[in-house]
Amino acid sequence: MEMPVPDPAILTRKAHLVTRLSAVLPGDALIEDERETRAYECDGLAAYRCPPMLAVLPRTTEEVSDILRICHEEGVPVVPRGAGTSLAGGALPTADSVILGVARMNEVLETDYNNRVIRVQSGRTNLSVSGAVEEEEFFYAPDPSSQLACAIAGNIAMNSGGAHCLKYGVTTNNLLGVTMVMMDGTVVEIGGAHLDAGGLDLLGVICGSEGQLGVVTEATLRILRKPEGARPVLIGFDSNEVAGACVSDIIKAGVLPVAIEFMDRPCIAACEAFAKAGYPMCEALLIIEVEGSEAEIAHQLSLIVEIARRHNPVELREAGDADEAARIWLGRKSAFGAMGQINDYMCLDGTIPVASLPAVLRRIGELSQDYGLEVANVFHAGDGNMHPLILFDANKPGDLEQCEAFGAEILKLCVDVGGCLTGEHGVGIEKRDLMLYQYAPVDLEAQLLVKDVFDPKWLLNPAKVFPLGATKARRSAA
């Protein structure tokens, strides 16, 4: 993976920068020792590593503002970091950069049940936002599978989704306001507890900008009352086509489940071997969850079962109680662990139109043969967000490269059928060079114009999102 050459002029000024940052930060907020900065050398995409020049761990918006102002004046790149769980290398440092970690900013600032909002510092973890409102039976809806660890800051940067976004939407649909620090240290307030910030939808473009437009330090999030209950049904089919048609029919019938998860045969086999959830061995499994009161759940499940029966399922298992529900989810929830036990794996994230599902799965199967690498598919079928998991051996020379080439083919396939490269993980460095496959240069240029406005010196989170070639002139001019 090509990264920009570190600027020697910046590296020689490390001591000067340390002096300036020390003047505005408490002693424990600045990390300069090389043994300690190594902790920030990678994120969830651990194949790529590079320790930063320095790391800072501020506790307040004012400290973030001071850090950014100084780095701006000194012309030093800054890589914002939430919890470092990005699967796309969104928080990968460059050797001449300062890692700005928001993990210590994890306070709940305001909980307002009457207006159904919570205001938190951005380093707070996703699950602990829900935890903070649980006693009143509220929750924060976006639920990325890393929710135990991932921070709201990263969720906003990547516009994270989750299994339940078919009903509740992704981060951008649940974010009402932010306090954000611009690269020059200016603190801006956008939106708030009211709906739809006035003026241009700056909040909309900040969400999903992968930390390249500003550092979000506080966020106002929409919270919702928990449903009375939820229950899944498990349906097995003898072909991916039929399972795909069933998903389409359910949606067309007006049932809107909170989640429709899809697993193919290799995934079912791996999960079954790992978790022993009692899954039937078949070509495709759907796990469909609905919410409401007991009677509402029963009614929706009966509609789903009726539709499924028309497609001759090989297995149909309704959860009668919480235990059975947990068993149905057990295999799916251990999918990543199950794959990890078999070998190293790479998790992709392309999205496709639901109707293209069978054709895309078939082609992935063919590619798997061509590349000689196994792949298992588990994904959010309701919204077409695929997660092919390609198995490879990191210790075998050339395997990672083969795996990446295979992955790129799958993502191109997603684009070819009318989908996109990434549904919820973000571009980061991982999919940077495929951007020109999805977008024409003029489309990318429009995105670069936005970056020019927010960060004219191109210092925030360098080398992410866009192909290096597309940004070279801007980076060297700034």
Partner 1 sequence: MMGALPPNPQNIFGKMMMLIPKDEAELAEAIVGTDTPLCIKGGGTRGFEVEGSVLSLAGLSGIELYEPGSLTLVVKAGTPIAQVEALLASEGQRMAFEPMDARGLLGGGGEPTIGGAFATNASGPRRIQGGAARDYLLGVRFVDGMGQVVKNGGRVMKNVTGYDLVKLMAGAHGTLGVLSEVALKVLPIPEAVATLSVAVAELSVAVQAMSAALGSPFDVTGASYDPETGLVHIRVEGFAPSVAYRQDRLVEVLAAFGEVSAQGSDANLWRGIRDVSKFEGRVGDVWRISVKPSDAVILAPLLGTAGLLFDWGGGLIWALSTEGTDLRAKMAQAGVTGHATLVRGSAETKAALGRFQPQAAPLEEISKGLRQRFDPRGLLNTGLMG
- Kindly state whether residue 459 participates in binding partner 1, applying the rule CB under 8 A: no
Binding residues for partner 1 restricted to 327-366, rule: CB under 8 A: 351-355
In terms of CB distance, is 267 or 360 closer to partner 1? 360
In terms of CB distance, is 186 or 312 closer to partner 1? 186
Question: Shortest approach of partner 1 to residue 447 CB, angstroms?
Answer: 4
Binding residues for partner 1 restricted to 250-309, rule: CB under 8 A: 251-256, 292-293, 295-296, 299-300, 303
**Which of 11, 46, 109, 446 is in the footprint of partner 1 by CB under 8 A?**
446
Binding residues for partner 1 restricted to 205-244, rule: CB under 8 A: 205, 207-209, 225-228
Structure tokens at 54: 């320095």
Binding residues for partner 1 restricted to 19-38, rule: CB under 8 A: none
In terms of CB distance, is 151 or 427 closer to partner 1? 427
SS (H, E, C) the chain: CCCCCCCHHHHHCHHHHHHHHHHHCCHHHEECCHHHHHHHCCCCCCCCCCCCCEEECCCCHHHHHHHHHHHHHHCCCEEEECCCCCCCCCCCCCCCCEEEECCCCCCEEEEECCCCEEEEECCCEHHHHHHHHHHHCEECCCCCCCCCCCEHHHHHHHCCCCCCHHHHCCHHHHEEEEEEECCCCCEEEEECCCCCCCCCCHHHHHCCCCCCCCEEEEEEEECEECCCCEEEEEEEECCHHHHHHHHHHHHHCCCCCCEEEEEEHHHHHHHHHHHCCCCCCCCEEEEEEEECCHHHHHHHHHHHHHHHHCCCCCEEEECCCHHHHHHHHHHHHCHHHHHHHHCEEEECCCECCHHHHHHHHHHHHHHHHHHCCCEEEEEEHHHCECCEEEEECCCCCCHHHHHHHHHHHHHHHHHHCCCECCCCCCCCCCCHHHHHHHCCHHHHHHHHHHHHHHCCCCCECCCCCCCHHHHHHHHHHC
**Which of 44, 89, 257, 426 is in the footprint of partner 1 by CB under 8 A?**
426
Question: Shortest approach of partner 1 to residue 264 CB, angstroms?
Answer: 19
Question: Shortest approach of partner 1 to residue 314 CB, angstroms?
Answer: 22
The stretch among 98-106, 147-155, 271-279, 379-387 that binds partner 1 (CB under 8 A) is 379-387
Question: Shortest approach of partner 1 to residue 70 CB, angstroms?
Answer: 19
**Which of 305, 330, 420, 468 is in the footprint of partner 1 by CB under 8 A?**
420
The stretch among 10-18, 169-177, 310-318, 387-395 that binds partner 1 (CB under 8 A) is 169-177
The stretch among 1-9, 36-44, 168-176, 317-325 that binds partner 1 (CB under 8 A) is 168-176
In terms of CB distance, is 274 or 454 closer to partner 1? 454
**Angle CA 123–126–132, to nearest 5:** 95
**Which of 72, 164, 387, 425 is in the footprint of partner 1 by CB under 8 A?**
425
CA distances from 74 to 21, 92, 154, 196 (A): 11, 21, 26, 36
The stretch among 27-35, 122-130, 264-272, 446-454 that binds partner 1 (CB under 8 A) is 446-454
Residues 6 or more apart whose Cβ sits within 8 Å of residue 418: 352, 353, 356
- Kindly state whether residue 154 participates in binding partner 1, applying the rule CB under 8 A: no
Q: How many residues bind to partner 1 according to rule CB under 8 A? A: 97
Question: Shortest approach of partner 1 to residue 394 CB, angstroms?
Answer: 26
The stretch among 24-32, 101-109, 316-324, 377-385 that binds partner 1 (CB under 8 A) is 377-385
Measured distance between the N- and C-terminal CA atoms of the chain, rounded to whole angstroms:
23
Neighbouring-strand partners of residue 315: 236
Binding residues for partner 1 restricted to 172-211, rule: CB under 8 A: 172-173, 182, 186, 188-190, 192-205, 207-209
In terms of CB distance, is 16 or 194 closer to partner 1? 194
**Which of 52, 80, 331, 384 is in the footprint of partner 1 by CB under 8 A?**
384
The stretch among 5-13, 42-50, 165-173, 360-368 that binds partner 1 (CB under 8 A) is 165-173
- What distance in Å separates the CA atoms of residue 308 and residue 250, rounded to the nearest whole number? 8
Neighbouring-strand partners of residue 140: none
The stretch among 17-25, 101-109, 366-374, 378-386 that binds partner 1 (CB under 8 A) is 378-386
- Kindly state whether residue 150 participates in binding partner 1, applying the rule CB under 8 A: no
Contact 370, 302 (CB under 8 A): no
Question: Shortest approach of partner 1 to residue 195 CB, angstroms?
Answer: 6
In terms of CB distance, is 50 or 420 closer to partner 1? 420
Amino acid letter, 389: L
Question: Shortest approach of partner 1 to residue 125 CB, angstroms?
Answer: 20
Question: Shortest approach of partner 1 to residue 254 CB, angstroms?
Answer: 4
**Which of 439, 458, 461, 471 is in the footprint of partner 1 by CB under 8 A?**
439
